């Protein structure tokens, strides 16, 4: 410190140090009543405790007690055991492994489940679901997004983090759930190769019902082309069982020469289907195209003569007296949402485990040290 004009030296009579040493006993001067009042006033209006931006949301006494629960220890052990004590990120075996929460434990307690007592924590079985856990070594753990985020994030970050994540979950729950594709019909490969009448549309006469309403996308059949030199074609159709009205049919499905496989044709204009019984049907343009079927079921094959490519509507079937189940099925897009997974997965932004390598390379058990 240069001898600047206006600055006091450490031993100057007016320096702070000198003034405090002047007090004699204990080398301190007690606060005067006036300064105590001023100090008290200084705290007034300041955010204290929970109201302070530096308040650490998750680090309540309750939070610490939860980490001592047998449920918590069991959760840690189960995560480690499931992962065979191997870091799910770098596949390092043993060592300082951590059962890491994919969605932060404090976030689950405070925001998702709003747990207020130890008993509530014990009874909240979703809290102890090991799907939210992943085994990581210390190095990989330190690279996770929510690793000690309370420490790394500024108070301002924390102020924004929790409302934003809560908002993200809320938006996620509002999003329309993805629809799913499903099939109905006979999806097995029949044991019998069955020749079809040329210029006929044929159905087994057995009704199949979709699980949900939706729109018809395609029809698939297990077909063989016995011709070793030419491709041939088939068409597949779908009728309503009760009134034999045509729902839709595929355009030509090429069955390549000398092949046997599932062949799929799309149905134009994706007609609507409901939860009623349907008949599947097939037409071929050459006798070399054959279909697989099982000779089971107390039903009769029914067919109606027609010209290839013409789908009679409504169909007028004639029973043949032979029981068959053709390997034909329809694929549709259900209009209802897919059933919600139980429990629903957290939104991707909380989920840092999806891209991790799994399963671990070699199951092997190691001793480990539980983190406190």
Residues within the interface to Zn ion (CB under 5 A): 87, 89-90, 92, 137, 140
> Looking at beta carbons only, is 100 or 301 nearer to Zn ion?
100
The single-letter DSSP state of residue 109 is I
> Looking at beta carbons only, is 86 or 121 nearer to Zn ion?
86
> Looking at beta carbons only, is 144 or 293 nearer to Zn ion?
144
User: How far apart, in whole angstroms, are the C-alpha atoms of residue 47 and residue 315?
Assistant: 80
> Looking at beta carbons only, is 79 or 140 nearer to Zn ion?
140
Q: How far is the CB of 86 from Zn ion (least distance, A)?
A: 9
Q: How far is the CB of 328 from Zn ion (least distance, A)?
A: 50
> Looking at beta carbons only, is 80 or 255 nearer to Zn ion?
80
Q: How far is the CB of 257 from Zn ion (least distance, A)?
A: 54
Are 215 and 181 contacting, i.e. CB atoms less than 8 angstroms apart?
no
Q: How far is the CB of 101 from Zn ion (least distance, A)?
A: 16
Helix, strand or coil, per DSSP, at residue 17: helix
> Looking at beta carbons only, is 87 or 102 nearer to Zn ion?
87
Are 217 and 270 contacting, i.e. CB atoms less than 8 angstroms apart?
yes
Q: Which two tokens stand for residue 199?
A: 């210029």
CA distances from 296 to 103, 203, 241, 301, 302 (A): 52, 14, 19, 11, 15
Helix, strand or coil, per DSSP, at residue 118: helix
Are 123 and 66 contacting, i.e. CB atoms less than 8 angstroms apart?
no
Q: How far is the CB of 84 from Zn ion (least distance, A)?
A: 14
Q: At which residue do the structure tokens 């029981």 appear? A: 323
Are 179 and 337 contacting, i.e. CB atoms less than 8 angstroms apart?
yes
Q: How far is the CB of 141 from Zn ion (least distance, A)?
A: 8
Secondary element (H or E) of residue 50: none
> Looking at beta carbons only, is 87 or 289 nearer to Zn ion?
87
> Looking at beta carbons only, is 96 or 120 nearer to Zn ion?
96
Q: How far is the CB of 338 from Zn ion (least distance, A)?
A: 34
> Looking at beta carbons only, is 138 or 285 nearer to Zn ion?
138
Q: How far is the CB of 92 from Zn ion (least distance, A)?
A: 5
Using H for helix, E for strand and C for coil, what is the string for 240-304? Answer: ECCCCCEEEEECCEEECCCEEEEEEEEECCCCEECCCCEEEEEEECCCCEEEEEECCCCCCCEEE
Are 201 and 303 contacting, i.e. CB atoms less than 8 angstroms apart?
yes
> Looking at beta carbons only, is 92 or 194 nearer to Zn ion?
92
Q: How far is the CB of 94 from Zn ion (least distance, A)?
A: 11
Q: Which two tokens stand for residue 35?
A: 């300064």
User: How far apart, in whole angstroms, are the C-alpha atoms of residue 35 and residue 292?
Assistant: 98
DSSP bridge pairs for 328: 221
Are 131 and 39 contacting, i.e. CB atoms less than 8 angstroms apart?
no
CA distances from 324 to 241, 280, 301, 328 (A): 16, 12, 6, 11
Residue 149 burial by Cβ neighbours in a 10 Å radius (0-12, 13-18, 19+): middle
Q: How far is the CB of 136 from Zn ion (least distance, A)?
A: 6
């Amino acid at each position: 410190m240069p001898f600047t004009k206006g600055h006091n030296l450490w031993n100057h009579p007016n320096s702070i140090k000198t003034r405090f040493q002047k007090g004699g006993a204990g080398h301190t001067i007690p606060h005067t009543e006036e300064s105590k009042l001023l100090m008290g006033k200084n705290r007034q209006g300041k955010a204290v405790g929970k109201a302070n931006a530096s308040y650490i949301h998750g680090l309540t006494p309750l939070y610490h007690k939860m980490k001592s629960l047998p449920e918590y220890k069991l959760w840690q052990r189960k995560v480690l055991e499931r992962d065979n004590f191997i870091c799910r990120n770098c596949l390092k075996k043993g060592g300082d492994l951590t059962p890491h929460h994919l969605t932060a434990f404090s976030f689950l307690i405070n925001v998702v489940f709003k747990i207020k007592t130890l008993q509530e924590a014990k009874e909240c079985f979703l809290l102890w679901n090991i799907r939210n856990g992943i085994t990581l070594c210390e190095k990989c753990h330190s690279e996770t997004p929510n690793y000690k985020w309370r420490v790394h994030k500024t108070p301002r970050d924390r102020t924004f983090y929790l409302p934003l994540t809560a908002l993200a979950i809320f938006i996620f729950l509002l999003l329309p759930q993805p629809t799913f594709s499903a099939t109905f019909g006979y999806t097995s490969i029949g044991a019998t190769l069955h020749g079809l009448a040329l210029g006929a549309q044929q159905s087994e006469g057995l009704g199949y019902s979709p699980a949900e309403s939706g729109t018809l996308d395609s029809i698939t059949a297990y077909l063989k082309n016995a011709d070793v030199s030419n491709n041939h074609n088939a068409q597949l159709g779908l009728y309503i069982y009760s009134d034999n009205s045509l729902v839709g049919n595929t355009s030509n499905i090429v069955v390549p020469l000398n092949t046997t496989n599932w062949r799929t044709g799309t149905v134009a204009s994706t007609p609507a289907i409901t939860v009623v019984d349907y008949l599947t049907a097939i037409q071929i343009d050459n006798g070399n195209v054959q279909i697989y079927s099982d000779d089971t079921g107390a039903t009769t094959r029914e067919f109606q003569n027609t010209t290839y490519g013409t789908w009679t509507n409504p169909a007028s079937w004639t029973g043949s007296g032979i029981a068959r189940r053709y390997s034909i099925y329809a694929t549709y897009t259900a209009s209802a949402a897919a059933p919600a997974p139980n429990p629903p997965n957290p939104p991707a932004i909380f989920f840092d485990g999806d891209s991790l390598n799994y399963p671990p390379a070699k199951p092997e058990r190691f001793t480990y040290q539980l983190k406190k």
